[in-house]
A and B are shown apart, each in its own frame.
Chain A
Amino acid sequence: MEHGSNTDNSKSSFCLVDEDHTLANAVRFTLNQDPRVSFSGYSIPHPSENRVNIRVQTTGAPAQEVLKDACQDLMMMCQHVRSTLDKAVADYKMRNPKGCRYSD
């Protein structure tokens, strides 16, 4: 859910339900590395409510688009991490056929 102003879409707060530091901190990292972002941060208003608020302020671009791009970046990173890990494990198994006991 987005909370922003009607006239200026470059500053918005987003409220994500059922999320925690796991996603918020990772998204904050990608947001901060985006050159369009002038400020970004997140907070968990209350520890027993599972929601996080993410604040995004940009130099002009719509905050919603920037947040979406940040998530997209994160997804691409994840995909790369996955493929790299799979390759590394496959390599390891090739090199050490005896070293790993893989039952499948």
Chain B
Amino acid sequence: MARRDERMSEGEEETEAESMSESESESDSQSGGEKSRGGLDYIMSLPDVPMKLPPHVELQRTRVLCNADAPNHTDTIQYSGAFASVGVDNSFRLDHFRDKFRVEVIRYSDEDMEFDMIGVDPALANAFRRILISEVPTMAIEKVLIANNTSAIQDEVLAHRLGLIPISVDPRLFEYADGNPLNERNSIVFKLHVRCERKKHLRRTVKASDLKWLPNGTEFLESENSNSSSSSKPKTYTEFTCRQDSLPEFLDNPIGFKGKLGDIIIAKLGPEESGDLEAQCKFMLYKGVLIVYFIQVVLLEEIEDEVAENLKSKCPVGVFDIEDVANGKKRLTVSQPRACTLCRECIREGEEWEKRVSLRRVKDHFIFTVESAGALPPDVLFTEAVKILETKCESVISDLS
């Protein structure tokens, strides 16, 4: 009884696992030509050898069991020969990966997206996450030159606040400055010149939209002396060779803080307080990404009536629902498995509950939440991250050959 229910609720997953191991053994026999696998091939051809993993091993391989005391079977089995003794090939085949791999978009907007990545190993999913966090470039303010700041906010605090404002510009249009002189290809310069005049208003809120783009580079001169002598070419902090807004990519698309980003508050000025500064932008890294395992909530037996009501009320996030079946009976169903936060409240109160409900993390199913800081849509960010991993592999290959 219990076994049947588990199958029912696992439904799709179970058949998927079956078809997977079938195709695994199929291609295993294809690779039988290899010398090293000759013995295994012979064993595989014998009728009594099981071609797929027994269900309990398959469960341990594909799920983390989140019991009341501790999670169990948390490791992933990577070694190609891990299941050689039962005749299952665990080696990597690209065509299997292609067959199994799925992406399902749950939510998508300019700012963030959520998608499920199914059939991918934690090692790979984590590589994507790490790259997204720390290696996909974004433009942000790096250096702030302050000429005058009479506001209540100190220079260094102001500079720090500026550094956290995301700029809506595609970082792929720029080169990495890497110590080179700043020019129109590797930097953006903004100017902030605000004053709260007593006659006009009592307080003034400085917002990101007050930062004005200087397409011609900085207006500040590098030394005070050259200010007085009107030499033909005064030395400034940047070496722009042409106006940035004359470049084709920025011609109709001025750099700035679009939409909600323009409303970010930088400072508040009192009467007669002013700020005059320039900010130079270079590559920076700022975006959010989160991956979590998909959690599967499995009912190990049919749960009815009072127990069902009890269990439904236990769950603080409403994973369970109750449906009416024949004879006025009520039966528990898992209606919102994605809502589960793994609080384990449903199995806390003793062993009998663990026999009714089982919480399992699916080891190859990840829920990615990618947040963009505004410059690029989240799917482009992710694609960039994958490309960076490819570049890394490529450089290793070229280093070795």
B79 within 8 A of A: yes
B338 within 8 A of A: no
A-B CB contacts (within 8 Å), total count: 141
Alpha-carbon separation in the docked complex, A32 to B80 (Å): 6
- From residue 10 to 62 of chain B, which have CB atoms closer than 8 A to chain A? 34, 36-37
B226 within 8 A of A: no
Q: Which chain A residues lie closer than 8 Å to B101 at the CB level?
A: 80-81, 84
Residue of A nearest to B92 (CB): A33
1/0 contact trace for A44-65 toward B, CB 8 Å?
Answer: 0000000000000001000010
Q: A25-B126, A28-B123, A73-B92 are in contact. Are A82 and B383 (CB under 8 A)?
A: yes
B175 within 8 A of A: no
Alpha-carbon separation in the docked complex, A2 to B400 (Å): 8
* A92 and B108 within 8 A (CB): yes
Residue of B nearest to A59 (CB): B36
Q: Which chain B residues lie closer than 8 Å to A35 at the CB level?
A: 34, 36-37, 80-81, 89, 91
- From residue 80 to 104 of chain A, which have CB atoms closer than 8 A to chain B? 80-82, 84-89, 91-93, 96, 99-104
Chain A interface main SS type: helix
Q: A77-B94, A84-B103 are in contact. Are A72 and B126 (CB under 8 A)?
A: no
* A33 and B377 within 8 A (CB): no
Q: A23-B389, A33-B80 are in contact. Are A16 and B383 (CB under 8 A)?
A: no
* A33 and B94 within 8 A (CB): no
A22 within 8 A of B: yes
Alpha-carbon separation in the docked complex, A74 to B97 (Å): 11
* B81 and A22 within 8 A (CB): no
B267 within 8 A of A: no
Alpha-carbon separation in the docked complex, A101 to B112 (Å): 10
B392 within 8 A of A: yes
B386 within 8 A of A: yes
Alpha-carbon separation in the docked complex, A103 to B372 (Å): 14
Residue of A nearest to B98 (CB): A80
- From residue 8 to 22 of chain A, which have CB atoms closer than 8 A to chain B? 14, 16, 19-22
Q: A30-B92, A32-B80, A102-B110 are in contact. Are A86 and B393 (CB under 8 A)?
A: no
* A25 and B123 within 8 A (CB): yes
Closest Cβ of chain B to A96, distance in Å, is: 8
B102 within 8 A of A: yes
B78 within 8 A of A: yes
Q: Which chain B residues lie closer than 8 Å to A86 at the CB level?
A: 379, 383
Residue of A nearest to B121 (CB): A29
Q: Which chain B residues lie closer than 8 Å to A1 at the CB level?
A: 399
* A78 and B115 within 8 A (CB): no
1/0 contact trace for B76-114 toward A, CB 8 Å?
Answer: 001111000000011110100110011111001110010
Q: A86-B379, A99-B108 are in contact. Are A23 and B127 (CB under 8 A)?
A: yes
A28, A75, A102: the one within 8 Å of B393 (CB): A75
* B105 and A88 within 8 A (CB): yes
Q: Which chain B residues lie closer than 8 Å to A80 at the CB level?
A: 94, 97-98, 101
* A19 and B108 within 8 A (CB): no
Q: Which chain A residues lie closer than 8 Å to B198 at the CB level?
A: none
Q: A23-B392, A35-B36 are in contact. Are A29 and B98 (CB under 8 A)?
A: no
- From residue 108 to 147 of chain B, which have CB atoms closer than 8 A to chain A? 108-110, 113, 115, 117, 120-121, 123-124, 126-128, 130-131, 135
A3 within 8 A of B: no
Q: Which chain B residues lie closer than 8 Å to A87 at the CB level?
A: 103
Q: Which chain B residues lie closer than 8 Å to A72 at the CB level?
A: 393, 397
- Which A residues fall within an 8 A CB radius of B? 1-2, 14, 16, 19-23, 25-30, 32-37, 59, 64, 67-68, 71-82, 84-89, 91-93, 96, 99-104
Beyond A67-B400, A91-B105, 4 extra complex contacts between A and B, CB < 8 Å: A2-B400, A16-B396, A29-B123, A88-B103
The 6 closest A-B pairs by CB, nearest first: A33-B92, A29-B123, A92-B105, A32-B78, A88-B103, A71-B393
